[in-house]
């Protein structure tokens, strides 16, 4: 039941609206954007672009390079993450996995493998709450628990990237995360892929990715999806044929630092 609710909450990811919260600076924003198509980049609009940039957050890279950033959300394990990792290893592609407390407790061996094979482990909070609806203290605790347990299991002592649960954030949570040393990583390519009882075949995943792909895309995929795991090898190979290359979130940050220096 817990993870059925997780899926229902995840369905909010594709709507862009706000509702009153604790204060004006904590007005909750549900991440949304105009999808990319025919190589044109996804667009969230000037207001959101400005808010993210002011707080060091991002959802896409440069339009000048055919570079892609592959990220995954891991709320719970459904038997397909090992296959995803096999593909990334074979194709020499870096990934970023945003994990929850439940994932750390239920799939520690996979977390260790992510780290061992050079992938970034990002923070998706311990309990997967709407972070705009918790206190500053609770916000910091949610992140600290994930960071601490990840460090205990792996050699990754730092945790630099945050993906807010359900795609909900606010000016307050952006600032809090930045103060805690985190970069919010949103996304510019996604689709409904998390309904485990309604998988539609590998081509559904493949077609959705290829239709939205664009230079600088940050892809969000859920590893609970059988479709994603089966489509990923062909997706990566075909995108490489189109001249795209895959880089890590660390590569993106290095480019940003060079550009601002």
* Residue 161: inside a domain: yes
| Residue 23: predicted pLDDT | 52
Q: Are 194 and 10 contacting, i.e. CB atoms less than 8 angstroms apart?
A: yes
CATH of the domain at 105: 3.20.20.370
Tell how strand 161-162 and strand 183-184 pair up. Answer: parallel
Confidence (pLDDT) at 5:
39
What does the DSSP 8-state code read for residue 166?
A: G
The pLDDT of residue 7 is 47
Nearest by Cα to 79 from 241, 230, 223:
223
Residue 242, Cβ density class (10 Å: 0-12 exposed, 13-18 middle, ≥19 buried)? exposed
Q: pTM for the complete prediction?
A: 0.90
Query: Is 184 marked active-site?
Result: no
Q: What is the predicted pLDDT for the residue at 258?
A: 83
100 found inside a domain: yes
Catalytic residue among 30, 119, 184, 222: 222
Number of residues written out for the chain: 261
The sign of the dihedral angle between the CA atoms of 140, 143, 147, 149 is positive
Q: Is residue 18 part of a domain?
A: no
Q: Which of 73, 130, 193, 227 is catalytic?
A: 73
Range of the domain at 170: 2-12+56-260
Beta strands at 218-222 and 67-74: parallel, antiparallel or unpaired: parallel
The reported pLDDT for the residue numbered 24 is 54
Report if residue 203 sits inside a domain: yes
> Which of 88, 119, 84, 78 has its CA nearest to residue 228?
84
| pLDDT < 70 regions, the chain | 1-24
pLDDT in tens, 212-238: 999 999 999 999 999 999 999 999 999
Task: Report CA 42 to chain centroid distance, whole Å.
Answer: 15
pLDDT of residue 20: 34
Residue 42 domain flag: no
What is the SS3 assignment for 224-255? Answer: CCHHHHHHHHHHHHHHHHCCCEECCHHHHHHH
CB 97 within 8 A of CB 112: no
- Alpha-carbon gap, residue 227 to 196, rounded angstroms: 9
To the query of whether residue 222 is one of the catalytic residues in this protein, the response is yes
If one counts the domains in the chain, the total is 1
In a domain, 158, yes or no: yes
177-201 as b/e: b if 16+ CB within 10 A: bbeeebbbbbbbbbbbbbebeebee
């Amino acid at each position: 039941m817990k993870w059925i609710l997780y899926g229902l909450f995840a369905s909010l990811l594709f709507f862009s609206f706000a509702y009153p919260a604790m204060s004006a600076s904590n007005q909750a924003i549900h991440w949304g954007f105009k999808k990319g198509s025919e190589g044109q980049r996804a667009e969230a609009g000037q207001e959101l672009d400005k808010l993210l940039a002011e707080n060091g957050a991002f959802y896409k890279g440069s339009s000048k390079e055919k570079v892609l950033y592959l990220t995954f959300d891991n709320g719970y394990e459904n038997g397909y993450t090992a296959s995803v990792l096999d593909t990334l290893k074979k194709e020499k592609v870096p990934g970023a996995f945003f994990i929850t407390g439940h994932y750390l407790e239920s799939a520690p061996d996979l977390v260790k493998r992510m780290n061992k094979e050079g992938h970034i482990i990002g923070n998706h909070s311990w309990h997967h709450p709407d972070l705009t609806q918790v206190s500053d203290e609770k916000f910091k605790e949610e992140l600290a628990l994930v960071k601490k347990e990840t460090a205990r299991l792996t050699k990754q002592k730092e945790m630099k990237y945050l993906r807010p649960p359900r795609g909900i954030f606010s000016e307050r949570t952006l600032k809090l995360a930045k103060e805690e040393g985190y970069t919010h990583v949103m996304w510019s390519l996604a689709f409904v892929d998390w309904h485990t009882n309604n998988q539609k075949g590998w081509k559904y995943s493949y077609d959705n990715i290829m239709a939205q792909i664009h230079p600088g895309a940050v892809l969000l995929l859920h590893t609970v999806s059988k479709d994603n795991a089966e489509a990923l090898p062909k997706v990566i190979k075909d995108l490489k044929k189109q001249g795209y290359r895959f880089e890590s979130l660390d590569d993106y940050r290095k480019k940003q630092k060079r550009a601002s220096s």
